[in-house]
């Protein structure tokens, strides 16, 4: 297939694009490279890759690129509650308006696979798993934008939306502001962390399993289409405290304590069921223990200052 990927050089796209190329798809990779990343350089020798340095909000450009593609993966996003609160105008124009524009411009037969977030569940009920039928009650501006555009996409049909758990793991366009990535970095460098809302739970998923989920949806599109799917590790519905305990197993001198010093802007506290996508045959391969070990190795090469969204 020929696939347009916006935000192709981001945290997810930098892992996904090489996997699409390995599967012999043609990829138009569009990104504005706002973080000065070089994450697609290793793919440039592939004749099936085209890179466009541009803004995903450019209507004329997007219209031209959509003319002969089979599928669209709109990954371009200002990701996370802090960044969206910092720049709400850009957040709306990128996270909502640019995706709505794609829906207006695409032909009905062009399929869309879109990543949203399970932070849309907001504050869950203790002991009750959030399924795709659970009412969406986002708290942050980021979560609200994602929930609104997901509805637009599902109403447009010929689509799949993936409600991603909090991602972790090494990517060529690395992010240190994701929870597992951040806590593991702090464990290695600072040796300690002070937690707030330490018993708030959320779900997690490795960035490579996110890429695998996209390809799984592409390969099984007809039987999965027009539905949302939670994508996470079913054995990793963990609180911040439990996450620190997992990290300490591999970083024994890591010290952590709880104090009332802050709050999560998403206020997310929920556990998630991933049974729906698992019933289609998708199973994650990269579990939390392996991901933490991978991060420990990767952090020998990285330092914090250039690897965050904000």
Q: What is the pLDDT of residues 224-240, one digit of tens each?
A: 999 999 999 999 999 99
Q: What is the pLDDT of residue 307?
A: 62
Record the pTM: 0.95
pLDDT digits (tens, 9 = 90+) for 130-148: 999 999 999 899 999 999 9
| Cβ neighbours around 285 below 10 Å, total | 9
Mean pLDDT, all residues of the chain: 94
Q: What is the pLDDT of residue 211?
A: 98
Pairing of strands 71-74, 159-164: unpaired
Query: Can you tell me the distance from the alpha carbon of 242 to that of 274, in angstroms, rounded to the nearest whole number?
Result: 20
CB 221 within 8 A of CB 157: no
pLDDT tier for residue 260 given thresholds of 50, 70 and 90 = confident
Please determine, for residue 308, whether its predicted confidence score (pLDDT) is greater than 70: no
User: How far from 143 is each of 205, 296, 307, CA to CA, in Å?
Assistant: 18, 30, 22
Length of the chain: 310
Please give the average per-residue pLDDT across 10-37, as a whole number: 96
Please determine, for residue 89, whether its predicted confidence score (pLDDT) is greater than 90: yes
Q: Write out the two tokens for 145.
A: 């934008």
Cα angle 234, 235, 237 (rounded to 5 degrees) comes to: 80
**Phi, psi for residue 85 in degrees, rounded to 5:** -70, -35
- Domain positions in the chain are 2-168+205-233
Percent of the chain past pLDDT 90, that is, above it, reads: 88
pLDDT tier for residue 309 given thresholds of 50, 70 and 90 = low
User: How far from 270 is each of 129, 145, 173, CA to CA, in Å?
Assistant: 7, 19, 28
CATH architecture of 2-168+205-233: 3-Layer(aba) Sandwich (3.40)
Please give the average per-residue pLDDT across 247-258, as a whole number: 97
Please give the average per-residue pLDDT across 79-96, as a whole number: 94
Q: What is the pLDDT of residue 50?
A: 98
Q: What is the pLDDT of residue 7?
A: 98
Please determine, for residue 113, whether its predicted confidence score (pLDDT) is greater than 90: yes
């Amino acid at each position: 297939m020929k696939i347009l990927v916006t935000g192709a050089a981001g945290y997810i796209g930098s892992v996904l694009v090489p996997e699409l190329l390995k599967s012999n798809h043609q990829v138009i990779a569009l990104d504005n490279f706002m973080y000065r990343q070089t994450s697609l350089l290793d793919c440039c020798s592939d004749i099936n890759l085209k890179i466009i340095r541009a803004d995903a909000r450019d209507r004329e450009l997007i219209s031209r690129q959509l003319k002969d593609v089979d599928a669209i993966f709109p990954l371009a996003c200002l990701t996370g509650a802090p960044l969206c609160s910092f720049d709400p105008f850009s957040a709306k124009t990128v996270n909502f308006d640019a995706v709505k524009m794609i829906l207006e411009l695409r032909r009905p037969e062009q399929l869309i696979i879109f990543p949203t977030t399970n932070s849309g569940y907001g504050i869950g009920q203790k002991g009750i798993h959030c399924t795709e039928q659970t009412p969406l009650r986002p708290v942050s501006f980021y979560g609200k934008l994602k929930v609104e555009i997901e509805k637009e996409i599902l109403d447009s049909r010929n689509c799949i939306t993936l409600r991603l758990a909090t991602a972790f793991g090494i990517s060529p366009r690395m992010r240190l502001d994701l929870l597992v990535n951040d806590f593991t970095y702090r464990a290695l460098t600072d040796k300690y962390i002070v937690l707030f809302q330490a018993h708030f739970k959320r779900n997690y998923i490795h960035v490579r399993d996110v890429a695998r989920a996209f390809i799984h949806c592409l390969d099984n599109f007809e039987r999965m289409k027009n539905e949302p799917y939670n994508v996470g590790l079913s054995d990793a519905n963990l609180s911040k405290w439990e996450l620190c305990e997992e990290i300490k197993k591999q970083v024994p001198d890591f010290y952590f304590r709880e104090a009332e010093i802050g709050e999560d802007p998403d206020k997310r506290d929920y556990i998630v069921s991933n049974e729906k996508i698992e019933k289609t045959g998708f199973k994650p391969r990269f579990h939390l223990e392996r991901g933490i070990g991978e991060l420990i190795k990767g952090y020998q090469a990285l330092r914090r200052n250039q690897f965050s969204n904000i």
